[in-house]
Amino acid sequence: MGRLKQYLTLLCLAFLLSPGALASDANDAKDGGENRPMKVIMPLWGPSIQADGTGMFVDLFRFVLKGYEHRYEIEYVSYDKALRLLLYSDVDCAYPVSKPTILVSMKHVDATQLIQSQSVLVSKTYVFSRPGEPVFSTMEALKGKLLIQIRGENYNHNFTTARARFWNVDSEPEKVRVLLGGRGDAMLGSMPDILITFAEMGVEIPPYDPDFSVLDYDNAMTCRNSAEAAALVDLFNRRIRETVEDGSLRAHAVDNGVPELVVDAFLPTLSR
């Protein structure tokens, strides 16, 4: 019995140390690393991203990655905190946040540390005046004006020539309330999501010049550059392409409140 036990022990050791077994262990470890859920931060924005996991941008994200829920986990934080966490913590990705926005807002100049996906929607930022006041149509007209923005947006670099001043608030509804309360000269808001905010709050769209867009913004997923993040970005891009081509992304945006008449202006083009 003693010799038999010794023989079986040696046989087990030989198997465990065999090249095939070692390769299998290595592959299991590799797969475990690639298959871990990626931590995706979403900034609390208003009706389009809410802490309970509802809102247009949350829904579009989940729709695009339907069937791949095991690939990510979502955390909701403030906008400015989302940018900081992406750069300085173990967070993998932020959405819907563009790479240029992070580089400018956080004064983070090493672009190679970040990778960006295709956009689910392309927003256009406008300047909304107080009701009853004239619209702003040029940067020169904004000289010295007090503009309301979400904390962390840091649109300031777009208005260096205008030398506008900025009032930071924590959400889109608060921007609207400050503007309608007669405080501040104008509000910065991005379509189409600001349209949903106005509808949710039951207010008329404040005056703005549709020909004066101060910024086009990619509502994309931006990640810290890693093999795992690159794999998720590739999947996200493939699914966006598929849902644009079959029309389901458009239909889903309309179902989430983007008006049928304007939705095509905000959909991503496959060449972007």
Predicted pLDDT at 153: 67
Predicted pLDDT at 223: 95
Tell me the average pLDDT of the chain: 83
Instruction: Look up residue 153 and give its two tokens.
Output: 């947006």
Sheet holding 121-129, edge to edge: 165-169, 146-150, 186-191, 121-129, 213-219
Lowest mean pLDDT among 10-14, 49-53, 112-116, 134-138: 10-14
pTM of the model: 0.78
d(CA 46, CA 37): 26
More confident residue, 30 or 34: 34
Q: Is the pLDDT of residue 23 over 90?
A: no
Share of the chain above pLDDT 90, in %: 57
112 pLDDT band, cuts 50/70/90, is confident
Share of the chain above pLDDT 70, in %: 81
The DSSP bridge partners found for residue 129 are 186
Q: Is the pLDDT of residue 226 over 90?
A: yes
217 pLDDT band, cuts 50/70/90, is confident
Angle (CA) 22-27-29 rounded to 5° is: 95
Instruction: Look up residue 271 and give its two tokens.
Output: 């060449």
Predicted pLDDT at 237: 97
Q: Is the pLDDT of residue 29 over 60?
A: no
d(CA 3, CA 82): 63
